[in-house]
Amino acid sequence: MKKFYQDKVVWITGASSGIGEALVQELAQTGAKIVLSARRKEELERVKKENQLTNDNSLILTLDLENYKEFDKDVKQVIQKFGTIDVLIGNGGISQRSVAHETGMEVYESLMRVNYFGNIALTIAVLPWMREKKRGWISTISSVAGKFGVPLRTGYSATKSALTGFYEALRAENKKENLKVTLIYPGFIRTQISKNALTKDNKKQGKTDEAIEKGLDPNLCARKILEGIASEQLEVVIAGPREKFGIFLHKHFPKFFASFIAKAKVT
């Protein structure tokens, strides 16, 4: 894996914490040139410093996925700095913790802007550069909750399912251009995702779910993501036994799954 990433330009969104920060930690050991993007510049600076990245092998590029109509200028900054973009990992996003009948439309709009429109807009902005050189690796972080609908996450599941449709179609459209697309489906990973999840009032939940506290290590998740991209896998599921069991039930025993998910503890 180290040989694959050496000297490649890898752009990571959501790089200031969680899976994104873990991806930076793992990549910093490979000789990759890393573009770190998120909203909080001070946190990106911290991640850069803690991983001993330099101005020669990294670029901090603050980016708000909700402002998805302005990404062309960000792409130009990366090209100006490194001359190319080899790997794009769309990791930035937000989750949800509220039942549908109590949730305002502004919550669904926020989720869609960040998780879907912001995600695909950056890909679309990068796409011409990859198509021109007929080489590139694109990966997006969906979720096990994008494999099937999960209670308290109606909007979140919808945005993650939408990513699957977009990127599978994108892969087919760009097969002749030699572009590789890998979809990532994490389950419960020990990050701040539930703490930052939106409630019915469009505010942060402010606490960590028990299921997240007992989840998988984010660095393990990051290594599996990077291995999946390097080996050009179509999709990678990174989850515990319970989530994998849910995927199995959903695929093979949908009626049983419907009862299972209605009773499952998902926080």
Q: Is 24 left (phi over 0), alpha (psi -120 to 50) or beta?
A: alpha
CB 86 within 8 A of CB 36: no
* Angle in degrees, CA 139, 141, 143, rounded to 5: 140
Helix, strand and coil content of the chain, in percent to the nearest 5, comes to 50, 15, 35
Domain span including residue 38: 2-241
129 occurs within a structural domain: yes
pLDDT per residue as tens, the chain (267 positions): 779 999 999 999 999 999 999 999 999 999 999 999 999 999 999 999 999 999 999 999 999 999 999 899 999 999 999 999 999 999 999 999 999 999 999 999 999 999 999 999 999 999 999 999 999 999 999 999 999 999 999 999 999 999 999 999 999 999 999 999 999 999 999 999 999 999 999 999 999 999 999 999 999 999 999 999 999 999 999 999 999 999 999 999 999 999 999 998 888
Q: How far is it, in rounded angstroms, from Cα 262 to Cα 211? A: 16
24 occurs within a structural domain: yes
Question: What integer pLDDT is reported at residue 249 of this predicted model?
Answer: 96
247 occurs within a structural domain: no
257 occurs within a structural domain: no
211 occurs within a structural domain: yes
The domain spanning residue 175 has which CATH number? 3.40.50.720
Question: What integer pLDDT is reported at residue 267 of this predicted model?
Answer: 87
Return the beta strands (E) in 91-191 as ranges. 136-141, 179-186
37 occurs within a structural domain: yes
Q: How far is it, in rounded angstroms, from Cα 120 to Cα 117? A: 5
Question: What integer pLDDT is reported at residue 265 of this predicted model?
Answer: 85
pTM value is 0.96
267 occurs within a structural domain: no
Catalytic site residues? Answer: 156
How many domains are there within the chain? Answer: 1
CB 195 within 8 A of CB 206: yes
CB 17 within 8 A of CB 192: yes
Question: What integer pLDDT is reported at residue 68 of this predicted model?
Answer: 93
Q: How far is it, in rounded angstroms, from Cα 192 to Cα 234? A: 27
Which phi and psi angles does 246 have, rounded to 5°? -60, -40
262 occurs within a structural domain: no
